Every structure is written in structure tokens, then in C-alpha cells.
Structure 1
């Protein structure tokens, strides 16, 4: 089955493009993927056959979203062993290998299984692109993106728009950003509000539960 856009750049009716951001916004740079999908939704609109998803840490619960996609674009923080903030793009059948090369959290274990299961069931997207960013800091509970990783969002989003345009997603920049309360992440977890309202490191432990951390650490 050919799901490529026609000669005029319009998608065929059976196209279903899924744009997925995964990760945990509560663990510093782990939130890169979710922050990218949030920014994409607030700044851009897309054709009806395009679905933007805040995948968070849902893992296997995302299987139907992956199986239904003809094209899948993923944002995630990936430990490639590179300099923090470095973007690396992986495509198609190589994506599951990189998702599991060096797992940083349980969400990556779960999502690697989602991709492998989609392959086994014969419902794997025709095109897959992973836009991964090398994190700087993960062990910071309640922290936010480090500046170098936040800076990487701009080129990551720019590249995603190029790819989505080529895929027939028809991206159009909004005249005015979507309000916080209308975002996929929800008003309380948007990047701006999270930065405004989260307690400082001096007022809230950023390493986990103080009751279980050895004295002196």
C-alpha cells in the first residue's frame, strides 16, 4: 500500500501521522520529548490526519497509537554518549535498537517493547523518525530542562516541521500560541508554569525521598 503524498503534496486518505513526545517532565532532561510536543502543539496546527500525543511514561499503553500510524515521529531524551544537547536522528528499523541501547528509565524499556511488538504484528509505520537529544542531567527530581537541552528544542522542532511538511502534515504556524489550559500536558505542567511554581532546590529535595537518602549525601 502506498501512503506517500500525491504529486500536489496532499496526503492520501489512509494517511495517519503520529507525533509522539515521551519522557518524564519531573526528572530534568527526561522531559525533553514531552516539552517538544507541548511546544509543537502550542505554536503549530496540522491537517486532520495528524495526531499529536503526550506519551509521557505510558510505555505499552501506546501500542495502538504506533500500530495505527503510517508515519511516526518521536521526540525523546536518549543517552547516545555524546555531548549534552546534541541531537541525533534515527530512522525506521534502527529506531528500536537505539531506544534500548542504553535505557535511562522504565519508559524507554516499555516503548522499545511497543516498537518491537508493532514490528512483530506487522503493523509498523512505513516511516519512523526518532529525534533524540543527549541529556545533561537526569537525577534531579522536580528539576527542569538544563539550558543546553532547552536550546536543542529549537533545532529539533525546526527539523520536525521540515519532515512533517514532506510527509504531508500541512503544518501552519498559529497567529497566537495556544493557551496553557488547552495543551496536551495540561495547564499545571506546561514548561512556563512549571518553572514559575516549582520549589527551589533549597526548599525541596531534588534527589528523591529524604527519608531514604543516607546522611551526608
Structure 2
């Protein structure tokens, strides 16, 4: 029996289009599979440093995230072990990315760092779309990303069970992909570049979308 503690983590912000890729991956994994007690699935959102305690407790860490690799939009890339923090610090694409690099650094400093680490990242198509959803090239990579993670976990004796019963949600139900999509206003009804109260007058008056 495998006694390693496994943490499967999705990070990102679902409110900014492809930024939500990591969260949607772990959400889908949670909906489809059941794991043993030593496996924890977590929607890390943009919690940053607050994730330290969870990373410290993990022997094996799998992370899903939207990463700017400078590749073709929708491209998947796998990064392993010591290369993960180096890579996440190379190109800052979002605030949570720097935050997670700090999480790894703090975990290493305390001596409680995962023995094995896998980052599954997807090159985003669009980020500047507040309230928007995943673009199709990125959405299409959810299933392949899950396959990569499940194949990786097999070496640690982790084989989940398929299930068709409703799973306990990792985040409030209204943030789930289906409900979020159903309630999302169209681009004609909602400004998608941010909160108009905090944008410059020229942008706000133009109504640029």
C-alpha cells in the first residue's frame, strides 16, 4: 500500500479567461474520479502563500496552471521537480504565479518540500477578458492534462476509480464551470477588460471590449 501524501492542486483565477485552466483541471478530476485517503485534490485559486501548509504536507505534488511558455496557444508542457520553481520564476504571467514560487521556496526553507513535483502547464490564448471563460484551444487540453497527471501518479501506486455520483465540490457551486457558464453575461452586456470604476476615463468612455 502506498503511504505517500499526494496533493493535486489547481491554481489560477477563473474570472480571467484562460487564467482558470488549472482550477478547471482539478475540478474536472474531482468530478470524474475517486482517490484514496492519501490523495488530496485542491482548488488553490489565487491563495498564494496560504498554500504553504498544504505543500509542506505533500510527498508528491501535481500542479495544473496556465503558464506563458512563449509557445503556440493551447500547447501543453510538463515540468518536473527542481525545474518547476526555476521555470515559474522565469516569466511572471500573473500575481498568483509569483505567489506560488514563494510557496515552494518557503516549503523548501522549512525542510518540508515534496519529494516529487510535476507542473502541467498550458499556454493561454486570452487573459484580458474579465468574466470570460477558457478559450477552446485551452479547454481542449483539460482531458490531455488529466491523462498526464494520472499516468504520472501510477508510478506511486495511485489508480483512481471512475464514478458517476455527484462529487463534493472543491469550491462554491456557483463557481463550477457549468453554472459559471450558464450565468455569464455576453460580451455585449458586460465590459470584459476589468472594473470600469478603476480604468482610465478614455478606456471607459470608448466602451472598448
SS in 2 for 1:82: coil
Output the CA distance in 1 between the equivalents of 2:66 and 2:89.
12
> What secondary structure does 1:115 align onto?
helix
> After superposition, what is the alpha-carbon deviation per residue over 1:142-178, rounded to whole angstroms, capped at 9, x for unaligned?
000000000011100111111122222231111x152
Moved over 3 A (4+): none
Aligned twin of 1:178: 166
Q: Distance in 1 between matches of 2:162 and 2:73?
A: 29
CA contact (8 A) 1:17 1:169 kept: no
**Alpha-carbon separation, structure 2, partners of 1:36 and 1:27:** 15
**Equivalent residue number for residue 6 of structure 1:** none
**1:199 aligned to 2:190?**
no
Q: Which residue of 1 aligns with 2:37?
A: 48
Q: Distance in 1 between matches of 2:31 and 2:84?
A: 27
Counterpart secondary structure, 2:192: coil
**Could you tell me how far 1:73 is from its partner in structure 2?**
0.3
Match of 1:209 in 2: 195
Paired residues of 2:6 and 2:58 also in contact (CA < 8 A): yes
The 2-side partners of 1:209 and 1:43 are apart by 35
Partner Cα distance (2:56, 2:175) in 1: 28
What does residue 11 of structure 1 align with? 2
Equivalent residues of 1:17, 1:50 under 8 A apart: yes
Distance in 1 between residues matched to 2:93 and 2:166, nearest whole Å: 31
**CA distance 1:177–1:78, shift in 2 (3 Å):** farther
Kept after mapping to 1: 8 A contact 2:150/2:159: no
Structure 1 gap ranges (5+): 1-9
Check 1:28–1:177 CA distance in 2 against 1; reply closer, same or farther (3 A cut): farther
Structure 1 counterpart of 2:121: 132
Q: Tell me the matched-pair count.
A: 203
Deviations 1:37-68 (A, max 9, x none): 00000000001100001000000000000111
